[in-house]
Structure 1
């Protein structure tokens, strides 16, 4: 929690900062009866045992659009509202996605290294890269961020199709209920779907093989959505053309095999990591807490908890 966020929260609430699991017992013994709200990062969450240890808890305000580390269903059963920070990061994550895609297809990172190592002068011009105009892009997920990505891809002349559990009636993009079929007809596959049990290893070997040796894979959703071992193997064996990854299964650990691959661009989970967007996300966390305690209604509850709102 930044100093600015702490100061803003302190204007409305008494702040108790979590001391870490090693000091949890004395902290809970002293403060648990009085804690009515928790602000937590989406990558940190709040375990059920902590939720159950806070008898006065009424709201968990998550920082981030993903909330798989908070059991929203369990919280809802206890009458506890869970919020997240959607929409304010749509533009930045979509911009990162496009930048990552172009970095992979246009070989920006590999070209940078080629120039820095003096190979241009020694060996001449490097191999040609690929453009994305006219390419067919399959979106795995078409929520708020996915839709923003799809709209921006249209500016680049891409044809967009999508896979999701349910077909959207408000878009003209072709819907594929079968992910393997969609991957087989695409040049590029972009994952922008939440993590959790329902999507774990949704992108597995059959999907990767369908995308094929000329395909490009981009993941800006969650690392758990992809079978990472199969992804690494496909890249190493040439069964997949290239990849751009902002998320991983065991963050912050990255499979070492990927480090030396010129056809892979790696980012340290920075999809929304700009000063402006992170400030907007922090502001929404604070606004959710203030609105809930002052007006009885949060601004952006997660779907599992919307029924708790008046």
Structure 2
């Protein structure tokens, strides 16, 4: 009997485990469970003769912000060179992929898959009532018939747009690399496309960031963009990545009135939170938890397993970020 290939699993302490499907997977793979205290230890284990020297796939499951692995970046640029030649697939829970060196993985011939749409509803529907919300009373504005601008009309952005259109009658604008006519058709009254954020901001009352973080979206909102807001001011919601907003510029805009409110689930220097934002009554902060729901955890596991099974049966995963020739 031939030796089963090694599959390395990184489980968060906050996750959902499909025991039935994993048992079936164990019939085909030698299941290894990651317990490295640092990525340096991980690198050592992948060296020839090490316990991870022959892994063919890695599956990272659950919420990355919880448990002993919360501060580890196992797919970062400094780790990728240590991956063994046998490694062909990484299936990682979550929507964003900025913590992985995708170009480096592609150069090594390694597929990288995320779990798109697994946490769409959890992020799109997140709402938290804080005691300080009463302080907004004299500044609060009814969102009905206002204009909402969304950066990134993907699964999450579209879900936000649909809810705001139906519930509040908001007019939808969006910005991205290209128009999305199929997404526009999923909105009752369609949406207005803008090729740049600068073109969109003068037309909207609230902006939601729901796009991937790339070098092009770094500080997508900064002084120039805030200066284009309506005289009534702009509301900013960031559910994407913290570095997409220039926090110093945001603080200035909050002070000048160009921005009249902000809701931030992500921060530029996580886990650190800018104290000037934390102490500003116009700002609602969350510790990157909008993904949290039992449905998200189950879908993370399901899509990861789907990718592993698909790759080893067909040669191609289902939700790859990159392309391997």
Counterparts of 1:1-310 in structure 2, within 5 Å, are 1-2=11-12, 5=17, 9=22, 11-12=25-26, 13=29, 14-19=31-36, 20-29=38-47, 30-40=50-60, 44=73, 46-53=75-82, 54-96=84-126, 99=127, 109-111=131-133, 127=138, 129-155=140-166, 156-170=168-182, 171=184, 172-212=190-230, 214-302=233-321, 304-305=322-323, 308=325
Judging changes above 3 Å, is the alpha-carbon distance between structure 1 residues 111 and 77 closer, same or farther for their aligned structure 2 residues?
Answer: closer
Q: Which moved more, 1:184-193 or 1:233-242?
A: 233-242
State the secondary structure of the residue aligned to 2:291.
coil
Structure (1 or 2) with the greater helix fraction: 1
Contact kept in structure 1, 2:212 and 2:240, CA below 8 Å: yes
Shift of 1:284: 1.5
State the secondary structure of the residue aligned to 1:280.
helix
Structure (1 or 2) with the greater strand fraction: 2
Shift of 1:178: 2.7
Query: How far apart are the structure 1 equivalents of 2:317 and 2:173?
Result: 34
Judging changes above 3 Å, is the alpha-carbon distance between structure 1 residues 126 and 61 closer, same or farther for their aligned structure 2 residues?
Answer: closer
Shift of 1:283: 2.4
Contact kept in structure 1, 2:59 and 2:91, CA below 8 Å: yes
User: RMSD in angstroms over aligned alpha carbons?
Assistant: 2.5
Query: How far apart are the structure 1 equivalents of 2:32 and 2:18?
Result: 8
Q: 1:242-283, CA deviations, whole angstroms, 9 ceiling, x for partnerless residues? A: 100011111111100112222111111112111221221122
State the secondary structure of the residue aligned to 2:87.
coil
Shift of 1:6: 8.9
Contact kept in structure 2, 1:187 and 1:216, CA below 8 Å: yes
- Structure 1 residue ranges without an equivalent (≥5): 115-124
Shift of 1:5: 3.3
Moved over 4 A (4+): 6-11
Contact kept in structure 1, 2:43 and 2:79, CA below 8 Å: no
Query: How far apart are the structure 2 equivalents of 1:126 and 1:186?
Result: 21
Query: How far apart are the structure 2 equivalents of 1:2 and 1:164?
Result: 32
Q: How many residues align?
A: 287
Query: How far apart are the structure 2 equivalents of 1:126 and 1:162?
Result: 29
- Structure 2 residue ranges without an equivalent (≥5): 1-10, 66-72, 185-189
Q: 1:198-244, CA deviations, whole angstroms, 9 ceiling, x for partnerless residues? A: 21111111111222552211111111111111112221343311100
Q: 1:174-195, CA deviations, whole angstroms, 9 ceiling, x for partnerless residues? A: 1111312211121111111111
* TM-score where L is the length of structure 1: 0.83
The residue aligned with 1:119 is none
